[in-house]
Structure 1
Amino acid sequence: FGYATNETPSYMPFPITMAHKIIRNIDEARLQKRISFLRPDGKSQVTIRYEDWKPVAIEKIVVAVPHDPKYTNEEVAENIYNEIIEPLVDSYQLPYERTKESYIVNGTGVWTHGGPDSDTGLTGRKIIVDTYGGMGRHGGGAFSGKDPSKVDRSASYAARHVAKNLVAAGVAERIEVQVAYVIGHTEPVSIMVETFGTAKITETQITEIVEKIFDLSPRSIIQRLDLLKPRYQSTAA
């Protein structure tokens, strides 16, 4: 599955976009020593209120991040809010009211050790945060640990590439692309699109466009997206 929406400049759902931005900004603050007591690892979840499939308010922000035990959880929460959350919320220009229920940091208390020491069995567990935060469907296969010959990974990238280009071209406001494969066949056995009633042309026409323009064979996907060049350093904590 690949999904795209016009609610953000990246054509990603707003909640997962904001959650990713929070974590990236926390990493930058840690590496730049702006919040020096933070440690690697962490996660975030953002709840957005929608009306007619449009984001209208930020309702809840949850952050978990390990830190030096010399600092209290309250100090961690306040520093993250002032340095990360408040500027980001202001940039989105959506209503948000900070309360004990709407802003939660390390909900179970102090967290000092992250990574495999505290949470083993990581591979394949984060398939939703790796994609659309639950907004679009997922085929069930993890990306991590697989080379691009596995369509669990490469075809998910390709389906997202297709969906993003269709939304960017104004074909629809939201699109989900579904591609199915069978072992031993070089081409997909099925291509389907769902536009949630937002398309300017029929879904049949969109499917025909996809089949005509995009070669979704694994070999072509690997070549087009340059998937034989792993990019570990740029994504490492």
Structure 2
Amino acid sequence: MPRENYIFTSESVSEGHPDKVCDRISDAVLDAFIGQEPEARVACETFATTDRVVIGGEVGLNDKTKLDDYLGRVEQIARDCIKDIGYEQDKFHWNTCEVTNLLHAQSAHIAQGVDAEGDKDEGAGDQGIMFGYAVEDTPELMPAPIHYSHQVLKRLAEARKSGAEPTLGPDAKSQISLRYENGKPVEVMSIVLSTQHKHDTQTSDDIRAIVEPYIREVLPDGWITDATEWWVNPTGVFVIGGPDGDAGLTGRKIIVDTYGGAAPHGGGAFSGKDPTKVDRSAAYAARYLAKNVVAAGMAKRCTIQLSYAIGISKPLSIYADTYGTGEVHEEKIENAIAQVMDLTPRGIRTHLGLNRPIYERTAAYGHFGRAAEDDGGFSWEKTDLADALRRAV
């Protein structure tokens, strides 16, 4: 039986965290290519440090005559991302940092395993295992610690960008420890918030006075108590931030991107990868399936695992775990999943509408627990498969 009474902690990082700057650039490059050619193949990695951004990886286009033109746009894409995030520091400024573009054509040896020929189904872009998770902690069916860690930073970014809090900087981290009672989150035990700020005269107390009202606004009523511990900028001054303070790299925040450690993770990062790569698309499908299992009332908590081999279209295995909360046996859930959704790479992309420029927005504040959008963004958050799953069991 799962534990009912415990404390669990998750962390998030803001859009200005060095790794998230890199995720943002990689996904913006992906959107630019896939927006022009929906079947574009992209594997874009970004590295950022003081006054420098380096972008590398592989790109595949059906119309190879356009490749050089698209590659020529990459530098401006990077600068636009940095500008929108808000970096205008002496040693990391959107207009003056050096941007090196090392993107090149995709390996033909990788493409041959993925491309469909004749009657051959399109294969997965790599081997791997992917996990999806859903739980009744929040209306979004997300683990509460990671969900509210994201929401705190998202709200502070809104206040900063609106001009309401002009002394806050782009780089920030949050961490929330929640006490669970009878399997439900009921109390915040501690809040950790470190945020970049403009002036070295600002103390930790000054920063707490700025951020506390926004944190209280985001967290559910009654969760913060007199016993809640607050740790705001506990090391003191935090003026130098972003890639000038610490180097960043695409794909280093995979637990922040997913479930905050509350569920397994297959290990593959998302950002910069087009949806033929099952690291991304199958992880989205697994979340979609887990969320629909819970939304269908088949379990209060659910993990779905999918596995793939490079060049092979069908998943090698489907695994469900409902942690003793299931109303339906896991084997029936696994069989139902195979019936209601085509889990080949192309089947996932078609079902969820993934061949669209919808990825830059995923780069910060989590890939899951967001509202499905009219243009197809976050389509994997829909619960439109619940009825089909119920019928299939």
> For 1:235 and 1:161, how far apart are their aligned partners in 2?
15
Is the Cα–Cα contact under 8 Å of residues 56 and 95 in structure 1 kept in the other structure? Answer: no
SS at 1:170 equivalent: coil
Alpha-carbon separation, structure 1, partners of 2:146 and 2:221 = 14
Residues 189-234 of structure 1, C-alpha deviations (whole Å, 9 max, x = no match): 0000000000101111111111100111111112222222233564
Q: Deviations over 1:152-181 (max 9, x none)?
A: 111111100100111111110000000010
- The aligned counterpart of 2:303 is 176
After superposition, residues 7-86 of structure 1 pair within 5 angstroms as 7-69=137-199, 70-82=201-213, 84-86=214-216
Superposed, which structure 2 residues align to 1:128-207 within 5 Å? 128-207=255-334
Q: Which deviates more, 62-71 or 168-177?
A: 62-71
Asked if 2 retains the 8 angstrom alpha-carbon contact of 1:116 and 1:122, the reply is no
Q: How has the CA–CA distance of structure 1 residues 169 and 148 changed in structure 2, closer, same or farther, with 3 Å as cutoff?
A: same
Report the Cα distance in structure 2 between the residues aligned to 1:232 and 1:210, rounded to whole angstroms.
25
| Matched position secondary structure for 1:18 | helix
Segment of structure 1 superposing worse, 38-47 or 224-233: 224-233
Match in the other structure for 1:6: 136
What is the match of residue 65 of structure 2? none
For 2:253 and 2:334, how far apart are their aligned partners in 1?
30
Partner of 1:122 in structure 2?
Answer: 249
User: Per the alignment, in what secondary structure is the counterpart of residue 350 of structure 2?
Assistant: helix
Higher relative contact order (CA 8 A, sep 6+): 2
Q: State the superposition RMSD in angstroms.
A: 1.7
Q: Residues 106 and 122 from structure 1, CA distance in 2 versus in 1: closer, same or farther, beyond 3 angstroms?
A: farther
What CA distance in whole angstroms lies between the structure 1 residues aligned with 2:218 and 2:273?
34
- How far apart are the structure 2 equivalents of 1:92 and 1:147? 40
**TM-score normalised by structure 2 residue count:** 0.57
Task: Say which is worse superposed, 164-173 or 216-225, in terms of deviation.
Answer: 216-225
Q: Within 1, Cα distance between the matches of 2:141 and 2:212?
A: 26
Residue 237 of structure 2 corresponds to 110
- Deviation string for 1:126-173 (max 9, x for gaps)? 000100000011001111222211111111111001001111111100
Gaps of at least 5 residues in structure 2 are: 1-130, 365-393
**Aligned equivalent of 2:356:** 229
Contact 2:133 2:304 in 1 (8 A): yes
**Residue 96 of structure 1: which of 225, 233, 241 is its match?**
225
Given that 2:305 and 2:319 are in contact with CA atoms closer than 8 Å, whether structure 1 keeps it comes out as: yes
- CA–CA separation in structure 2 for the residues paired with 1:130 and 1:236: 8
| d(CA) in 2 for partners of 1:183, 1:92 | 48
Q: Is the 8 A contact 2:207 2:233 kept in 1?
A: no
Contact 1:59/1:97 (<8 A) preserved: no
Q: Structure 1 residue 44: deviation in Å?
A: 0.8
Paired residue type of 2:282:
A
Aligned-residue offset at 1:72: 2.4
Distance 2:354 2:162 in 1: 31
The number of aligned residues is: 233
1:96 alignment partner AA: T
Q: TM-score, normalised by structure 1?
A: 0.92
- Whichever residue aligns with residue 24 of structure 1, its letter is K
Larger Rg: 2
Identity level (%): 47
Counterpart of 1:97, as a letter, is: D
Inter-partner Cα distance in structure 1 for 2:357 and 2:232: 33
Residue 222 of structure 2 aligns to which amino acid in structure 1?
Answer: Q
